[in-house]
Amino acid sequence: MNYKLITGIVLCFALICSFGVYKVFANQNKEVNMNDKKVLVAYYSLSGNTKAVAEKIQRLTGGDIFEITPKTPYPKEYNVVVEQASKEKARDFFPELADNGNVKDYDIVFVGTPVWWYTMAGPVKTFLRENDFTGKIIVPFCTHGGGGESTTYIDMQKLAPHAKVLQGYTSYENSAKENDIKNWITGLKL
Ligand SMILES: Cc1cc2nc3c(=O)[nH]c(=O)nc-3n(C[C@H](O)[C@H](O)[C@H](O)COP(=O)(O)O)c2cc1C
């Protein structure tokens, strides 16, 4: 057979193989098929537990990530923030955010929060109130210190009445396992 023809066939074969390998590597980081839906993972976290879950969700879905940041940061001292949050809850306070974010370009918004006094943290309340979730899917998640999600997800639906709020993922402190998160997202059939 013609030498050039054989070389051409070998080169084409190598090219096709390398494209296949590239696709495998390109998809390696995104482990859940989101059917081309645009995904945002928005979260607030004071001590890092909820942030760790948010980052796992982001890696699994390949979505964008947005850290909800209050204009005035909350104190890190546990007793101080517990007392402040208690007072804020009593007067249904919505803390101002450094940036309200924008959910306009997304189909699915994962919304994560620590449980504060049986519900979501103040900054997450503001994020939900300041964005238009009409026609969006909210997938909530939270971390807690032993009391479970309490009314967190119910309260999220109240603040975003025109969104469809799906089944949430609840984990204790920093105990969330990536495989459990993956099974939860897969089970939602997004
Ligand atoms: C102000 C405040 C209130 C809290 N209230 C609750 C609660 O009602 N129920 C609960 O189980 N844990 C409660 N916790 C514990 C946190 O939900 C838990 O430590 C969470 O994982 C912290 O998440 P983060 O590291 O993302 O900030 C509270 C913690 C703080 C700081």
Q: Which atom of ligand 1 is nearest to the CA of 43?
A: 26
The enclosing H or E element of 39 equals strand 39-43
Supply the pLDDT for residue 124.
99
Q: Which atom of ligand 1 is nearest to the CA of 81?
A: 1
Q: What distances in angstroms separate CA 154 from CA 16, 42, 52, 118, one per listed residue?
A: 50, 18, 23, 11
Supply the pLDDT for residue 30.
76
Q: Is 152 in the pocket of ligand 1 (CB under 6 A)?
A: no
Nearest to 40 by CA among 91, 86, 97, 109: 109
CA distance 73 to 178: 29
* Mutate-to-test residue for ligand 1 from 50, 76, 113, 115, highest number of ligand atoms within 8 A of CB: 115
Using left for φ > 0, alpha for ψ between -120 and 50, and beta otherwise, residue 41 falls in beta
pTM of the predicted model as reported, rounded to 2 decimal places:
0.88
pLDDT in tens, 97-133: 999 999 999 999 999 999 999 999 999 999 999 999 9
Please say whether the dihedral angle defined by the alpha carbons of residues 156, 151, 39 and 185, taken in this order, is positive or negative.
negative
Supply the pLDDT for residue 187.
97
Pairing of the two strands 119-120 and 108-116: antiparallel
Kindly write down the DSSP assignment for every residue of 58-106, as one continuous string: HHHH--EEEE--BSSPPPSSHHHHHHHHHHHHHTT--PPBS-----TT-
Supply the pLDDT for residue 66.
98
Q: Give me the residues paired with residue 183 across strands.
A: none
Q: Going residue by residue through the chain (190 aa), what tens digit of pLDDT does each one get?
A: 566 665 655 554 555 545 444 444 444 557 899 989 999 999 999 999 999 999 999 999 999 999 999 999 999 999 999 999 999 999 999 999 999 999 999 999 999 999 999 999 999 999 999 999 999 999 999 999 999 999 999 999 999 999 999 999 999 999 999 999 999 999 999 9
Supply the pLDDT for residue 21.
46
Say how many C-beta atoms besides its own lie within 10 A of residue 87's C-beta. Answer: 9
Residue nearest to atom 3 of ligand 1 (CA): 116
CA atoms within 13 A on the CB side of 87: 6
Give 148 Cα–ligand 1 centroid separation in angstroms. Answer: 10
CA distance 156 to 149: 11
Give 113 Cα–ligand 1 centroid separation in angstroms. Answer: 9
Supply the pLDDT for residue 43.
99
